[in-house]
Amino acid sequence: MTVRSRFAPSPTGLLHIGGVRTALFSWLYARRHHGVFILRIEDTDRERSTEEATQVILDGMEWLGLSHDEGPFYQTRRMDRYAEVIQQFLAAGHAYRCYCTKEELETMRARQMAAKQNPRYDGTCRARTTPRAGVDPVVRFRNPLEGSVVVEDVIHGNVAFDNAQLDDLIIARSDGSPTYNFCVVVDDMDMKVTHVIRGDDHLNNTPRQINMLRALGATPPVYAHVPMILGADGAKLSKRHGAVSVLQYREEGYLPEALLNYLVRLGWSHGDREVFTRAEMTELFDIRDVNKAASAFNPDKLLWLNQQHIMRATPELLARYLKPQLAALGIVVDDDARLAGVARALQERAKTLKEMAQNGLFFFTELQGYDEKAAKKNLTAEAVRPLTLVLEKLQALTDWRAAAIHDIVNLAAAQLQLGLGKIAQPIRVAVTGTSVSPPIDVTLENLGRETTLARLQRALDYASRH
C-alpha cells in the first residue's frame, strides 16, 4: 500500500511555525515511505480565507522545499462533490434536516451549561419528516447514539470516546454550504489519504470523522496527532510571538534547512544528534517516535542551528541566498565568485544571512567613516609606522592571496617587534571601518588590491592627523 499523507491548512491566517511543523512531519512521513504528499487548501470559510494567506502557504512550502505530489486542491472547487455526498447521506438516512433556529440552539446550550452538562444538540429534529415553515434547514449527521469510537492514534495510543458524548454535527449550513469536519472526511476519502498527521487540537474531532467515514463505508486512515508548539513564554502561539508568517524567517536570513531542522527536533530526537540535513531527517524521522507533550519555541536554539547550517553550507549556496539580503540593503553584486569568497570568509561568524550581509557590507560599499571607538583606539599616531610598512609591502605584492598577505603582516610585525594585534587591528579598522571582521589576510584578499591600498592610504592620513 502506498502511503498517502497530506497537509491541509486553512488560509484564514498566515502559515506559521506550528503549521509548518505539522506539514514537515507529514511530508517526512510520505518521503520516508516513498509515498505521496498531498497539499489541500481548506478554504470553505470564504469570509475569513484570504488570497494572501493562500499565497503564503504556497510560497512558504516552496521555500522550505516541502514539495507536494498532488494538489494543491481547493475545497471551494469541490462544492459539487460535497453536495453529492450530502444527498447520499440524506437518502441513506445518515443525515437529516434540522429546522432548529440559531436562537433555539443557543438557549438549549445555555440551559445545558447551566445544568453542568456537556452542551450538545439534543436531536429534536432527528425524527422530523416535515419541513418547518420559514426556516431554511441545516443538515446534520446522524451520529450513533450508543457505543464508543476508539481512535487508534500512532502517537497517543488508543483514545476512546463515548458516542453519547458526541452529537449530531451540522454538515451543511442553512445556505447549503458544507462544513469543515464533513469536507475533511470527504476529501480524505476521495484523495485516498492513508495517514492523517495533524495537530492534536484535532484529536477531539476525530471520533466524529471516523463515524462519518464509516457511514460512507470507507476505512478510516491511520491517525497521528502531533503536539502543538507553544510560544517561547509557554503560551499558545499567536501573533504576539512575532512570527507572523514563515516567510518572515526567509526575510530574516534563515536557511530553510535550519528551520526544518529546528522544527523536527521539537517533539522528536535521534540520540544526541542535533544537526540534521534534509536527507538525514527523511531517513531517520519516524512519526512513532514523536512526543506527546507540547513544546515551546526557542528562538536562541533556532539561531544556533541556523549558524550551524550556514557553517556547513557551500559558499556558492550562501552566495545565492546572500544576493537578496544584499539587495535589501541596496547593493547589487554581479560577481558570483567574489560573493562566494566573501560568504566563505563570513560563514563562521554569522547567525543569519541577514547578519552576514550586514557584516559584509564593507566589501561592497565605500566606507562611511570609521567606528568612533575603533578609530580612537587603533588609528592613532602609534599606528602610523605599522600601517606605512604594511602599505609599502602590499604595494609591492603581486600575488594577491591570503597566504602571501598573511606573510607580509607577520613579517611587518616581526620587523617592528610588535604583537600581531598591534598591526592587525589598525589594518582592520582601516579597511572595514570597524574592529570586527574575518581574519585580516582573508579580509584583504576578498577586498581586493586596489580597495585595500586606497583604504590603507586613507587611514594613514587619518592616523597622522590624530
Partner RNA sequence: GCUCCCAUCGUCUAGAGGCCUAGGACGGAGCCCUCUCAAGGCUUAAACCGGGGUUCGAAUCCCCGUGGGAGCGCCA
Q: Please list every residue from 205 through 264 that binds RNA, using CB under 7 A.
A: 205, 227-228, 230, 234-236
Contacts of 399 by beta carbon, 8 Å cutoff, 6+ apart: none
Instruction: Quote the longest CA-to-CA distance of the chain.
Output: 106
Residue (35 or 275) nearer to RNA, CB: 275
According to CB under 7 A, which residues from 16 to 75 bind RNA? 42-45, 48
CB of 228 to RNA, least distance (A): 6
162-191 residues near RNA, rule: CB under 7 A: 162, 165, 167, 170, 173-175, 179-181
Map the footprint of RNA across residues 77-116, applying CB under 7 A. 100-102, 105, 109, 113, 116
d(CA 104, CA 122): 11
CA 324 to CA 326: how far, in whole Å? 5
Q: Which three cell numbers stand for residue 207?
A: 471520533
Nearer Cβ to RNA (82/462):
82
Return the residue of 1, 91, 293, 396 that touches RNA, per CB under 7 A: 293
Among positions 7, 141, 161, 321, the unique one binding RNA when judged by CB under 7 A: 161
94: which DSSP letter? S
- What residue has cell string 507572523? 244
> DSSP 3-state assignment of 448?
coil
How far, in Å, CA of 22 to CA of 465, rounded? 62
Nearer to RNA, 409 or 460 (CB): 409
Residues in contact with RNA, counted by CB under 7 A, come to a total of 87
The C-alpha cell 422530523 sits at: 128
Please check whether residue 128 is in contact with residue 96, taking contact to mean a CB–CB distance below 8 angstroms. Answer: yes
Q: Kind of pairing, strands 157-162 and 148-153?
A: antiparallel
Residue 239 appears among annotated catalytic residues? yes
**Residues between 315 and 334 that touch RNA (CB under 7 A):** none
3-state secondary structure 347-366: CCCCCCHHHHHHHCHHHHCC
d(CA 29, CA 2): 12
Which positions from 271 through 290 interact with RNA, judged by CB under 7 A? 271-272, 274, 289
CB of 117 to RNA, least distance (A): 6
Active-site residue, selected from the candidate residues 102, 239, 351, 376: 239
Q: Which residue, 35 or 418, is less far from RNA as judged by CB?
A: 418
H-only helix segments in 93-241: 102-114, 180-190, 206-215
Stretch that binds RNA, among 22-30, 125-133, 200-208, 326-334 (CB under 7 A): 200-208
- Asked if 403 interacts with RNA (CB under 7 A), we say no
> In the range 364-383, which residues lie near RNA by CB under 7 A?
none
- Among the listed ranges 304-312, 334-342, 385-393, 448-456, the one in contact with RNA (CB under 7 A) is 304-312
CB of 323 to RNA, least distance (A): 22
Stretch 413-432 residues interacting with RNA (CB under 7 A) = 419-421, 424-425, 428
Nearer to RNA, 35 or 105 (CB): 105
**Calpha distance 394→97 (Å, rounded):** 89
Cα(278)–Cα(316) distance, integer angstroms: 18
Q: Which residues are catalytic?
A: 239
